[in-house]
Each structure stands twice: as C-alpha cells, then as structure tokens.
Amino acid sequence: MASKQHNADHRKTYFVVWMMLLVFTVITVWVSYHNYGVFNIVVAMGVATVKATLVCLFFMHLKYDNRLNQVVFVASFVFLAIFVGLTASDELFRPVEAVAKVEAVRPPAGNQAALMEKLRNSTPSLIAKGKEIYLSQCMACHGAEGKGNGPAGAALNPTPRDFTSGLWKQGGTPAQVFKTVSDGMAGTPMPPFESLSVADRWALVHFIRSLSPNTPADTPETLKLIGLGEGVSAVSSQALPEIPVDFAIDRMVKEK
C-alpha cells in the first residue's frame, strides 16, 4: 500500500516525535518544580495536550487516516470537552459558599462544655477536694472507705455500691459516673446531686473512681452522655463546625 520511501519518512517522523515527547516531558516536570501560580496548571495541561496531539496525529496515524475515523475520534474529544468544560466552569467559578458560625449550634453553654472538658481529667487536688465532699455527702450510705457499708445504708435496698468491688451498674467511665452522681439512679435509693456544683461533682467522680480497681476510660459514646465528644462539643472557637447556612437553620429549628 505504501511505498518504501513513504515508510522511511514515517520512521524519521516517529523518531522526531519521540524526541519531542521526551523533551516536553522534561519541560513539564521542570515547570512543576517552580511556582507560577495558576500558570502551573495551564502549562501542565497545555504541554499534555501538545503531547497527546503528537501521539494522536503521528503514532496513531490519525493524520493519514481516512476522514471518517478522524471525525469519530475527534468527536470523542468534543464530547469530553463539553463534559469537562461545563463541569469545570460550574465548579471552579462558584461563589464561596457562605459559612455560618451559628452560636445556637454549639452546646447550650459553650463555657460549661469547656469547663467539663477541663474537669473531667483527674488531678490530685480534685481527688482531695472530692474526698472532702464525699465525707460530708456520701459517707453516710457508702461508708467512710467506700465499701458501701455506711450506717445509713444498712437498711437500703438495693444496698449502696461498694466502690472497691470494681463493679458499676451504669458504667465506670468518668462521664458515666458523673451522670450517675448528677442524675441519681432510677429504681434505687441513689438520689441526684444536682445541687452540687459541676466542679464539686467532678471532684467527687475522681475521688470515687480512685477507690475502684476498675476505671475504664471514656469513649465518644460515653462522652455524649454529658454533652461532650464528637458532633456535640465545640470547646474553642477554632473547633466550631463550619456548616452551610441552610443546614445550620435546620439544626436550630430541630433543637428548638
């Protein structure tokens, strides 16, 4: 079909195209090590398109192919351009979506959440303070050593918790114990101690847990009990969730 001369010309073309492709690759990599802002993308895509065109025209022989094949293959790039171009024109030029920082989305009292976060870590001073409160508020039932054998507890049913047993009815993590101290335990004589301040309740929690041989750590699940943890907490303003306005309004409506 093709003459010898014609084919020899092709080989020369292939060689030249090969060299050009290698040179273009070096150029595009070299450019990528320099920062020209938006031009990096333009150059990288431009060079890639030149390389792709060379491959199409000469290696794939599209230049010498019949018109039908040329139209068919080029048409795919026309459709690709529509597909990619319209998507890009939408995505790249959208106005920056307004990000709402809505106070109401935070837990009811932001400061309280921060306080809780701080107090839920046990310290020697908190434990010492907890012991004082324990001796005045809890000893009567739970006993001076926390064995559940206080004088007022003898008649109670069920008997008060022996903290040295390592057993917990409602869980032994700081958050769970805090919740039990705050809310009491339904179906038992254990009353709620809401009258104590948050700091005092935490001190108690740390003292009580210091008596127990079984002190599991909090998980995201248990933290939710006290309004902390994932999705609920926003301790500092930096950790504020960034959510779109309509979603925030939705959340506010649900909360109210």
Partner 1 sequence: MTEHVVPDHFHSAEQAFESSKLGLWLFLVTEILLFGGLFVIYIIYRAMYPDMFHEASRHLNRTLGFINTLVLICSSFTMAMAVNKTQNDRSNRANQYLLLTLMFAATFMVIKYFEYTHKFHEGLLPGAHFSFAEITHPKADLFFSLYFMMTGLHGIHVLVGIGLILWVLVRSNRGDFGSRYSTPVELTGIYWHLVDLIWIYLFPLLYLIG
Query: Would you tell me which residues interact with partner 1 (CB under 8 A)?
Result: 1-2, 4, 7, 10-11, 14-15, 17-18, 21-22, 25, 28-29, 32, 40-41, 44-45, 47-48, 51-52, 55-56, 58-61, 65-66, 68-69, 72-73, 75-77, 79-80, 83-84, 87-88, 91-92, 94
**Minimum distance from residue 16 beta carbon to partner 1 (Å):** 10
**Minimum distance from residue 151 beta carbon to partner 1 (Å):** 55
**Minimum distance from residue 100 beta carbon to partner 1 (Å):** 18
Residues 66 and 214: beta-carbon distance below 8 Å:
no
Judged by beta carbon, residue 44 or residue 249, the one nearer partner 1 is 44
**Quick one: tokens of 71?**
């139209």
Q: Which long-range contacts (CB under 8 A, 24 or more apart) does 154-158 make?
A: 156/189, 157/189, 158/188
Judged by beta carbon, residue 64 or residue 128, the one nearer partner 1 is 64
Distance of CA 134 to the CA centre of its chain: 39
Q: What three-state secondary structure class fits 168?
A: coil
**Minimum distance from residue 189 beta carbon to partner 1 (Å):** 47
Q: Which long-range contacts (CB under 8 A, 24 or more apart) does 215-218 make?
A: 215/172, 215/173, 216/171, 216/172, 216/173, 217/173, 217/174, 218/120, 218/173, 218/174, 218/175
**Quick one: tokens of 197?**
């301040």
The size of the chain, in residues, is: 256
**Minimum distance from residue 43 beta carbon to partner 1 (Å):** 9
**Minimum distance from residue 69 beta carbon to partner 1 (Å):** 5
Judged by beta carbon, residue 7 or residue 236, the one nearer partner 1 is 7
Distances (CA, A) of 117 to 129, 184, 198, 224: 18, 21, 11, 12
Query: Within a 10 A sphere around the Cβ of 22, how many other Cβ atoms?
Result: 11
Judged by beta carbon, residue 66 or residue 195, the one nearer partner 1 is 66
Judged by beta carbon, residue 55 or residue 245, the one nearer partner 1 is 55
Residue 187 has what DSSP assignment? T
Residues 28 and 44: beta-carbon distance below 8 Å:
yes
**Minimum distance from residue 118 beta carbon to partner 1 (Å):** 24
Residues 159 and 153: beta-carbon distance below 8 Å:
yes
Judged by beta carbon, residue 48 or residue 154, the one nearer partner 1 is 48
* β-bridge partners, 243: 100
Q: From 164, 162, 200, 167, select the one nearest 181 (Cα to Cα).
A: 200
Judged by beta carbon, residue 57 or residue 115, the one nearer partner 1 is 57
